[in-house]
Homo-oligomer: A and B are copies of this chain.
Amino acid sequence: MHPIVRKLAAYGPLAPEEQAVLAGLGAGAQLVEGRLDLLSEGCVPDSAVLVLEGVACRYRHRRTGTRQITAYLLPGDLCDLDFVHLGRLNHSVATLGSCRVARVPREVLAGLTTQYPAVARALRLAKLAEEETTREWVMNVGCRSAIERVSHLLCELHERLRAVGWATKAGYDLPLTQQDLADTTGLSNVHVNRVLRQLRLMRVVEVGGKRVDILNLAALQEIAEFQADYLRPAVA
């Protein structure tokens, strides 16, 4: 099943027609190799980006050269519904590993939401989840230790990838370098490496070679104080 259908269906039932239309968004998808910008800071996007496979991210650079990743875009994620209101973008969007992505023109997106209220609602809820996730990241870098931050990130990716069928209980593929993890968690690549070694020695999780093998999920979540509910806003 197409990842965006799978993702949005979690927020409420979608009619077959709605599912078909959503799946159709991925029609013109293209393969993009890793480490390429999909949208660059300062540009004025005229279409959203839909990720079908792979991992992409939002990021910004400081003048000092350091990079901060502020969000991950996983299969089924649409970046970004509301840029149609924006002028210049003040951050960039780039692939991390190689991705399959489709561009969704703003008119298509607008037509979709006016024609299918259930889709519009699901997209709003997905956006809410994204906001909660960003707030969770503020928590993460603001008041957790290195091992907690890394563990939390691994938990979040596990949960989100599972929701779209790209992870099992045993683990998932993750085409990131340790430097990418460092730029996400606000740590140095060296320290990320040490944290991953510690987690490996603790027999909690093994991260290496673009693969995350989870040995003890409960322990990992315990370390991270991971509460998955922020990823799934309960529906009133």
Contacts and interface: CB of A to CB of B under 8 A. Distances in A.
A162 interface: no
Contacts of A84: 236
Interface stretch (A31-39, A166-174, A225-233): A225-233
Most interface-central of A185, A229, A234 (chain B CB within 10 A): A234
Contacts of A127: 82
A137 to B, nearest CB: 5
B186 A234 contact: no
Given A85-B124, A137-B138, A142-B186, A229 B90 contact: yes
B138 A225 contact: no
Contacts of A44: 236
Contact of A134 (B62, B86, B134): B134
Nearest to A106: B236
A68 B225 CA distance: 14
A131 B130 CA distance: 10
Nearest to A233: B86
A1 interface: no
A124 B80 CA distance: 14
Interface in A65-91: 66-68, 70-71, 82, 84-88, 90-91
Given A58-B135, A87-B233, A236-B44, A68 B128 contact: no
Interface size of A as a range: 35 or more
Contacts of A67: 143
A201 interface: no
A132 B87 CA distance: 13
A139 interface: yes
A70 B186 CA distance: 17
A131 B81 CA distance: 13
B128 A85 contact: yes
Contacts of A124: 82, 85
Contacts of A142: 68, 141, 185-186
A92 to B, nearest CB: 12
A63 B144 CA distance: 11
A110 B97 CA distance: 41
Interface string A97-133: 0000000000000000000000001001101100110
Query: Ordered nearest first, which 4 A-B pairs have the shortest CB separation?
Result: A87-B234, A142-B186, A141-B142, A70-B135
